[in-house]
Structures are given as structure tokens and as C-alpha cells.
Amino acid sequence: MIVPGIGKIVEGINSVNSAIDSDRAEKVIFLESDKTTSHRLELLIEKAKNKGLIVEKIIKKDSWKYNNRHSVVALCTPKKTYDEKTFDQLTLSNIVVLDHIQDTNNFGAITRTSSAFDFNIVCIPKKRSVNISERTFAISSGGLENVNIVFYNSIFSLIKKLKSLEYWTVGLEMNTKEDLLNVDLNNQKVALFIGSEENGLSNEIQNKLDLIVKINMNNTVESLNASVAAAIAMNHFFKKSS
């Protein structure tokens, strides 16, 4: 079951800064270090105050109940999420579709890259997928604030819907002939499909997509990390549309 909205707690200076910019942050809490407060944190606190947010300073580390990796968090109104029924509310852009990505680091990195290269919608399955937590927002380093998350039930229904909306559905796989570098879709909308870390995209899914492409590389390693492969592909389509 998907809880409506995500990101009630956002950790890390980049993610908190983005939450403030997106007007989701309601309260900023920071841990005052024994050392001089960093200039970036000072600017963030000033921005929060200028926006009228509540700012709370914690002096004792024992009183800090958040992740020890971070010294600033924001308490936020939940970020709205979407599903197949509310998909049409979104302004359509290039899309990333993740098929059972399990690793939090991969998901965080993919959302950050999606934000950088104008893939402003990220679709993930409701079941057997990564849990979007405070850590996910921190890893995305603000990227999750800038993309819309769509939860889907059936990837096959999603493919059908995307095709009805005139998307080119493109899957990434190593064992195929078509080289990503040779693909130019003339600025048409792209839905990029990334398979799970362990199994990639199933043959059944591949058969439903318009294109299956590979990233050309030498034989030193067997395959690329899912988030690295996604970044290369998104950058390719971003450059083609620029």
C-alpha cells in the first residue's frame, strides 16, 4: 500500500535546500557544530528565516534524533505522488520507468540524474521496489524535489498508456545489436526503461517496447551499474534534444 505523499522528513543540506525552494519545508532543524557553522548552512538558515519557516537549533548531539550523517533536516508537507489514474495531471516530459530497482543508492542517483537531464517523471512499481525514505532524498541531493514520482501496478498497462501518449518506449539492455549512440528520435518524447539490478528487463517487457538499445563499451567489465547506465542514456537524449 502506498502512503499518499513522500518526503515528510528531508535530510542533508542539498535536499533541505531544494525542499525550501519547492515550498514544501515547514521547519528546519540544525545541529550546531563545535566548529564554525559552514557558510552553506548559514545561507540555508537565512533562506529559511526569510521564507518565514520555523528554525530550531540543537546544541547537544545527544538531542539530535536524526541521521548522524547530516546536521540539518527539514520537516515538510508530503510531496504528492501519482499513479496511472492521476498520471494525466502531470505536464508530460521525458520519463524514466524503473522495473523493480531495489537499491536505494541506485534510485537516489537515478532521480538526481533525471532532474539534471529533464526526465521529469520517474515511474516505479507499487510492489517489490525501493522504499522512498529520508535516505533516498539525501542520496538524490535535491533531485527528488524536481521530479514527479508515479507508482504503477502493471508495467504492461503503463507501456500501453505511454504509447497512447505518443512516447517512444526505449529499453536498456546489454545483449542487443542497436547502439544507443545511433538513436536519434528527433526530439520526440522518450520513456526510458531500466531493468532491475539483478535481472535487467525481461524478454516479455522487451518485446513490448519500441526499441532495445545497448551502451557500447569494451569487454573489461560485464555490465554497468543501473544508475550509471541510466545516466549515460538520459544524457544522450538530453543532448539530442538540446
Domain annotation covers residue 4: no
pTM over 0.85: yes
DSSP secondary structure code for residue 92 in this structure = P
Query: Is 95 strand, coil or helix?
Result: strand
Instruction: Say which CATH number the domain at 137 has.
Output: 3.40.1280.10
For residue 34, the model assigns a pLDDT of: 56
Are both 115 and 51 inside the same structural domain?
A: no
Residue whose C-alpha cell is 537516489: 108
Is 37 part of any domain? yes
The per-residue pLDDT for range 21-35, each reduced to its tens digit, is: 999 999 999 988 755
Cα–Cα dist 13/48, whole Å: 12
Q: Are residues 149 and 226 in the same domain?
A: yes
CATH of the domain at 24: 3.30.1330.30
Q: Report the mean per-residue pLDDT for the chain.
A: 88
Rounded to the nearest 10 degrees, the angle between the axes of helix 13-21 and helix 39-50 is: 20
Whether residue 122 sits in one domain with residue 19: no
Tell me: do 45 and 136 sit in the same domain: no
Higher pLDDT, 93 or 197: 93
Note whether 36 and 125 are same-domain residues.
no
67, 104: one domain: no
Q: Work out how many domains the chain is built from and give that number.
A: 2
Residue 199 pLDDT:
78
34 and 54 in a single domain? The answer is yes
| Same domain membership, residue 138 and residue 59 | no
Residue 30 is part of which domain span? 9-76
| Residue 35 and residue 112 in one domain | no
Residues 187 and 67 in one domain: no
- Higher local confidence (pLDDT), 108 or 222: 108
Distance set, CA 116 to CA 62, 75, 124, 141, 228 (Å): 37, 25, 19, 11, 14
Three-state helix/strand/coil letters over 30-47: EECCCCCCCHHHHHHHHH
Does 2 fall in a domain? no
Average pLDDT over residues 113-122: 94
Those residues whose C-beta lies under 8 Å from the C-beta of residue 210, and which sit 6 or more positions away, are 163, 168, 169, 170
The Cα–Cα gap between 107 and 138 comes to 11
What local confidence, expressed as pLDDT, does residue 222 receive? Answer: 64
User: Within a domain: residue 15?
Assistant: yes
Type of residue found at 216: N
Q: Are residues 143 and 90 in the same domain?
A: yes
Q: Which helix (H) or strand (E) holds 116?
A: helix 104-116
| Residue 16, in any domain of the structure | yes
State pLDDT tens for residues 47-90.
999 999 999 999 888 888 888 888 899 999 999 999 888 888 88
Q: Which of 19, 41, 76 is the last residue of a domain?
A: 76
Q: What would the grid cell of residue 65 be? A: 534524533
β-pairing, 148-152 vs 72-76, is: unpaired
3-state secondary structure of 67: coil
